[in-house]
Structure 1
Amino acid sequence: MSRYRQMQVFAAVAQTGSLAAAARQLEQSPAAVMRSIAALEARLNNCLLIRGPRGVELSPAGEQFAVSCRQILEQTAVAERSAAGLHANPAGQLILSLPQLMDQQVFMPIALDYLAAFPDVQLTTRTSAGVPKLLEENIDVALVVGQLPNSSGFAMPLGTVRSVVCASPAYLATWGRPHTPDDLKRHRSVLTTATDQQSEWRFRSERSSRLVRPAPVLTCTTQRAAIQAAILGLGLIRCMSYEAHHELQSGLLEPVLSDFASQPLPAQLIYRDGRRAEARVRTFIDFATPRLRAHPAFLGA
């Protein structure tokens, strides 16, 4: 059996987590799959699978080899499709990672337009905090807010976003509008456990930054619920500007303490392989980037 075929068999086992499931996927017998894995381990002189009563698990070496196999097989498939003239016709599943609430507030109209323009593509969105690992998590494109590590691949800048403190007009009419961070001591707040920074609110002054610990009247597990509570007048909320974009634009929420806002954060689309990326990835980057840059949720590219 060729090395390429051995990698295909091992990648199927790694994906399904089962020799029997991999055999069904490859339309082979379980014995043939086991022989292929055994030959691969013998050639590499390393244990790739740990066999147990509940099936198989990847060894540490197997986990690393699985990532390499997936990358090699994907690149080979791209090269074959390109040589066959299929690269210009985007098709297949496109997996996109987005920050929480980005789909609702910003992305969905762009997704509908993209799918209308490229009907052979199937789009799958995932919510992700921070910078996802594209290859390990099998993600094609990610919209990321914040600074990128050097290993993030290719990036298309979209603009910036910032954290905002806001409240409903009804709340501000009853409790007054805070003018400095110290005024928050006399206010009610709504917090969320969705991020690690909600227990302390950081504000910027002329020469330094200031941390304030708001006293919550309500703590929610999601930012969506916290925003809804703020709309209903329960208290002040701190969120990213895009997370409450529609509410801020429509006047359901009003920003306060804008003079003390923290530094804006960059937003970008990241992806792998640059111009060698598959057609569905390249067309999505080319299609979505100018539309996202023009979106009022971003402060300018």
Structure 2
Amino acid sequence: MDRLREMEVFVAIVDGGGFTRASEKLGLSTAAVSRALNSLEARIGAQLVARTTRSVRPTDAGTVYLDTCRQVLDAVADADASIGAYHVKPVGTLTISAPVLFGQRFVAPLINAFALRYPDVGIHAVYVDRTTRLLEEGVDVAIRIGHLGDSTTFAVPLGFVRRRTYAAPAYLEARGEPVHPRELTRHDCVSFTGVTHPHEWVFAERGARLPVRLQPRMIVDLAPAAIAAARDGVGITQLLSYQAAPDVLRRRLKPIFTSFETDPLPVSVLHVERRGASGKVRAFLEFVTETLRKNTQLRCGHREKAPRAYADRAA
């Protein structure tokens, strides 16, 4: 029996005035209570209770030790209660990681709303277009786009996006709209390194992988730069569907090669706490999951209809 349990037994014996009441309170046999007291007395080298046929009372040493035991047990109870509150109530600093553009459009507004709802939680938001290592970098929650490999983290699915090819209507009118990805070799292309390899874009044809080698006119490492270049007619680009969505809705970009798209990419929220997740993590997971699963831009698991203005020309 551990020391804290022995202290608890000793206090119960004194408070209950005997071994029987202590055993009833703690759910132990009277023999187990007696053994615990004997072990405690042997360990500290002093008799703690005086036993008579009518009563059990603390000795002088026992009276002094009793106060110490109460302080220790109260401190342990307070510690347990504080941890319990920590896991129930959202408190502390929450570190969140998300891709830059996705974070700006979808996560930042949620973080602001979360901060207003939970004033005891401090936020450290990290927006980077790379894979963050949760444990090594002290990240509590990360939004990730793409297939997940083996990991010690836990993933909650939020939805899907697609890797799509886009061009400005003015570019297509001037250069002609390609109908097969291999025609890209005759077109100007803008490669965004966050989505594709600069010199090889991947498509799918009849269930098989279709890589296309090309010499891009421009290579950029930021989604807004690729969007702006395509919108200005510099060339055709590949983006994730949510990245281009505002410009598609405004008819400034048009998706092409939709019948050659690869499988959708999952969007997930990751965390590392296996069980008993802290209140701040659990609250944020529930907050973002409920909201982002309703986002229509994360429902690209199936092929959507092209915008009405493009429906008659979609590939």
TM-score with structure 1 setting the length: 0.67
Q: Counterpart of 2:297?
A: 297
Q: Counterpart of 1:33?
A: none
- 2:136 is aligned with 1:112: no
Which protein has the larger Cα radius of gyration, Structure 1 or Structure 2?
Answer: 2
Q: Counterpart of 1:133?
A: 133
Q: Counterpart of 1:99?
A: 99
Mapping for residues 46-61 of structure 1, pairs under 5 Å: none
Q: Counterpart of 2:177?
A: 177
- 2:274 is aligned with 1:254: no
Q: Residues 195 and 264 of structure 1: is their aligned pair in 2 closer, same or farther, counting only changes over 3 Å?
A: closer
Secondary structure of the 1:282 match is: helix
- 2:233 is aligned with 1:233: yes
The gaps in structure 1 that reach 5 residues or longer are 1-77
Amino acid at match of 1:188: D
Mapping for residues 1-301 of structure 1, pairs under 5 Å: 81-83=82-84, 85-129=85-129, 131-194=131-194, 197-299=197-299
Say whether the 8 Å CA contact 2:162–2:300 is kept in structure 1. Answer: no
Q: Residues 93 and 257 of structure 1: is their aligned pair in 2 closer, same or farther, counting only changes over 3 Å?
A: same
Identity %: 33
Say whether the 8 Å CA contact 1:140–1:272 is kept in structure 2. Answer: yes
Cα distance in 2 for partners of 1:152, 1:198 equals 31
Cα distance in 2 for partners of 1:299, 1:131 equals 23
Q: 1:138 Cα deviation (Å)?
A: 0.2
Q: Counterpart of 2:35?
A: none
Cα distance in 1 for partners of 2:86, 2:226 equals 47
Q: Residues 123 and 170 of structure 1: is their aligned pair in 2 closer, same or farther, counting only changes over 3 Å?
A: farther
Amino acid at match of 1:249: L
Amino acid at match of 2:219: T
Cα distance in 2 for partners of 1:87, 1:159 equals 27
TM-score with structure 2 setting the length: 0.64
Task: Supply the RMSD in Å over aligned alpha carbons.
Answer: 2.3
Cα distance in 2 for partners of 1:103, 1:207 equals 32
Say whether the 8 Å CA contact 1:163–1:262 is kept in structure 2. Answer: yes
Say whether the 8 Å CA contact 1:130–1:144 is kept in structure 2. Answer: no
Deviations 1:134-167 (A, max 9, x none): 1111000011122223323221111111100001
Say whether the 8 Å CA contact 1:158–1:300 is kept in structure 2. Answer: no
The gaps in structure 2 that reach 5 residues or longer are 1-78, 302-315
Say whether the 8 Å CA contact 1:106–1:297 is kept in structure 2. Answer: no
Secondary structure of the 1:116 match is: helix
Say whether the 8 Å CA contact 1:105–1:245 is kept in structure 2. Answer: no
Secondary structure of the 1:297 match is: helix
Deviations 1:15-41 (A, max 9, x none): xxxxxxxxxxxxxxxxxxxxxxxxxxx
Amino acid at match of 1:268: S
Q: How many residues align?
A: 223
Say whether the 8 Å CA contact 1:97–1:139 is kept in structure 2. Answer: yes
Q: 1:185 Cα deviation (Å)?
A: 2.4
